[in-house]
Structure 1
């Protein structure tokens, strides 16, 4: 029978926090009868400026839960309790505190936004045994925290790719604006380090402003023909509308977070024609991704993004760690969470196949290949990654190139 504990919180403290609810019930643990579920947590952006990413995450999470629970984990199901970050650091901290301190989850998926993920780790997770695996964070700062794992590749690869693409397109001067948080600052710094040309404008902007006309005017006055945006969808939509209405002309480039259907819907046709964006990508030619995409489209009537694929793989990775671990505790899960997707094991592309191997073998015997690509966490908790170059053509995104990090 598995051992169930609550992440280093003693029983007396837990009873105070929960008004006497049993610890086993809080942990969502399964007894030997297998009639209860393993409960893990997820901090997602269900509201706020990153909610478009959060919606896709939930869909990927739900598909993964279906795949896991069709098979089961030792006769039990997996549950994911989701809390909203509101796309903000403090909201993420509050959500994580609820999941870790009250619900007692030993495994936490979260979050959208690099600053949110870091805030959760430093304020809630660091110093505990809880395993944190971020679904959508690309900020470079996460690399400095090896125990903070992430499914999406670090932004350093994006920054280098953007610098190369802009140079290859024949530009030697760029105007750069970035959102004033960890994600924007770290990616902007990585770009300027990789860029050999002139940076004619290099300034941050705040989130959720009604207008960015002063930023756009300053970029135009910098006389750079290439403009690079490292920001979020809502902010970028406002900027594009102001560029268009002002009649400014420039070749636009963007990091992953500026792309999305919301941007297309909220900007005029022709306002971004020819823009190039570098985004993390799943290996779309692989069969397991195509199967995932087909299921996603059947269920939701649209193609998945890479963000949905990352969320899907976070859930599968958590489920495999639960099956492989000696107990449903953060310490035990932390010992195996990297092993179930290492290259040394047998390559498999589904939870069912990986679960079959784990039933008779050890964590090192399986190498789960995710729908988002290989999941081989390095010493910094970063995975192998793929990038895709998108170009805006006729007010839609078209893939024009792939890059392997």
Structure 2
């Protein structure tokens, strides 16, 4: 566990100790992230973004009757069992009113199915992108502030075809995230006339994937598309493909847009590596978030920070609108962000609180875009293709 992850766990202990203080009861929301596991390098920034929303609420009068909003951090470890355990603790022991997270699709599906749906607790994931989440029988309690991978996979396929990639091989991690993204990509790439010269799932955590890579390259593709995590198995695949010259070009999904490949492999070795990722639409809301997050010491360009912030701020608005009633949070979540009402930008808690008290309709304008949920709790989104530039990622083109 890295130092930032340890700090987050320490923050959880401090928050729990604070919650034991008397006076008015704190209002708790769970922040369930992949603090350990394959996205451990991404998770701290995501949790920090959610904590920014919480700190803004508390700095502007608190929630409900002046209570403090507390983010209870839990480690979902980016796997189903971790997600279930973290959600069980958050709901049954901490008594959270709602949950931001988990971060990974498998953890979302397990936590929702086993814990939050039966308990009637609203869950908003900022990064669980599997298409399977859309079809959950969830009594309208599962939402996300990030678009489904069905959209990302198809947009990436169209973008690659437009840029002249006619023949690719696809390696994907054998979990809900990898499978959903790979299937949508394959379907669209072939529909666009592209050739999938190799297509195979792989298991997490092996020391060597050279035999997998050799088989994938046997179809003659020069480009390998990797749907995995850049902090985990995806990094191993990329390293071994480069070391052995199996492929010339590399394309990753959003899970591969991590600092880890740059730090471990060097930017000079990643000149033909690109990755797709959701991006916030250019707006006053995004500018406002970027300035606030940067001022709090965060990196506005880190992956999923806008969606994490939006998830936390939206839940705070919904809890306020519902008067703290867990059973009313889902309906309130739809009411505070549906394209109708007075605009609320990131950080405008005091303004929103007064309007809610006055019975005036509000419409949250998110850092990641207008978070207007459809019937399944999904949102539209905007993606871009990134390249490595120095020690960071830079946008190459938008994806449509």
Instruction: State TM-score, norm by structure 2.
Output: 0.87
Counterpart in the other structure of 1:195:
189
Output one character per residue of 1:236-268: Cα deviation in whole Å (capped at 9) or x when no partner.
221222122113342211111001112210113
Query: 1:120-159, aligned counterparts within 5 Å?
Result: 120-145=111-136, 147=140, 148-159=142-153
Report which of the two structures shows the higher radius of gyration computed on alpha carbons.
1
Q: C-alpha separation between the residues in 2 aligned to 1:55 and 1:83?
A: 12
Output one character per residue of 1:319-342: Cα deviation in whole Å (capped at 9) or x when no partner.
11111114x232121221111111
Match of 2:180 among 165, 171, 186: 186
Q: C-alpha separation between the residues in 1 aligned to 2:99 and 2:69?
A: 13
Instruction: Give the secondary-structure state (helix, strand or coil) at the position aligned to 1:270.
Output: helix
Output one character per residue of 1:156-193: Cα deviation in whole Å (capped at 9) or x when no partner.
11111111122112232210010100111111111111
Q: C-alpha separation between the residues in 1 aligned to 2:327 and 2:111?
A: 18
Q: C-alpha separation between the residues in 1 aligned to 2:354 and 2:41?
A: 35
* Match status 1:299 vs 2:296: yes
Distance 1:332 1:190, change over 3 A: same
Q: C-alpha separation between the residues in 2 aligned to 1:393 and 1:403?
A: 19
Match of 1:370 among 366, 372, 377: 366
Q: Contact 1:29–1:37 at 8 Å: present in 2 too?
A: no
Q: C-alpha separation between the residues in 2 aligned to 1:359 and 1:172?
A: 57
Q: Over aligned residue pairs, what C-alpha RMSD do you find?
A: 2.3
1:301 shift after superposition: 6.0
Q: C-alpha separation between the residues in 1 aligned to 2:263 and 2:205?
A: 18
Q: Contact 1:49–1:208 at 8 Å: present in 2 too?
A: no
The gaps in structure 1 that reach 5 residues or longer are: 1-24
Q: Contact 1:297–1:304 at 8 Å: present in 2 too?
A: no
Counterpart in the other structure of 2:332:
336
Counterpart in the other structure of 1:318:
315
Q: C-alpha separation between the residues in 1 aligned to 2:102 and 2:59?
A: 26
Output one character per residue of 1:275-327: Cα deviation in whole Å (capped at 9) or x when no partner.
332111112x323322322332333264442411111111111111111114x
Match of 2:344 among 343, 348, 371: 348
Instruction: Give the secondary-structure state (helix, strand or coil) at the position aligned to 1:98.
Output: helix
Instruction: Give the secondary-structure state (helix, strand or coil) at the position aligned to 2:269.
Output: coil
Q: C-alpha separation between the residues in 1 aligned to 2:123 and 2:169?
A: 36
Instruction: State TM-score, norm by structure 1.
Output: 0.86
Q: Contact 2:223–2:247 at 8 Å: present in 1 too?
A: no
Instruction: Give the secondary-structure state (helix, strand or coil) at the position aligned to 2:30.
Output: strand
Query: 1:161-176, aligned counterparts within 5 Å?
Result: 161-176=155-170
1:394 shift after superposition: 5.3
Distance 1:44 1:170, change over 3 A: same
* Match status 1:380 vs 2:371: no
Instruction: Give the secondary-structure state (helix, strand or coil) at the position aligned to 1:338.
Output: helix
Counterpart in the other structure of 2:215:
218
Instruction: Kindly tell me the number of residue pairs found equivalent between the two proteins.
Output: 373
* Match status 1:58 vs 2:43: no
Instruction: Give the secondary-structure state (helix, strand or coil) at the position aligned to 1:69.
Output: helix
Match of 2:66 among 55, 75, 82: 75
1:355 shift after superposition: 2.0
Q: C-alpha separation between the residues in 2 aligned to 1:296 and 1:162?
A: 29
Query: 1:258-273, aligned counterparts within 5 Å?
Result: 258-273=256-271
Q: Contact 2:48–2:298 at 8 Å: present in 1 too?
A: no
1:110 shift after superposition: 1.6
More displaced stretch, 92-101 vs 353-362: 353-362
Match of 1:119 among 110, 126, 150: 110
Q: C-alpha separation between the residues in 2 aligned to 1:391 and 1:304?
A: 13
1:91 shift after superposition: 1.2
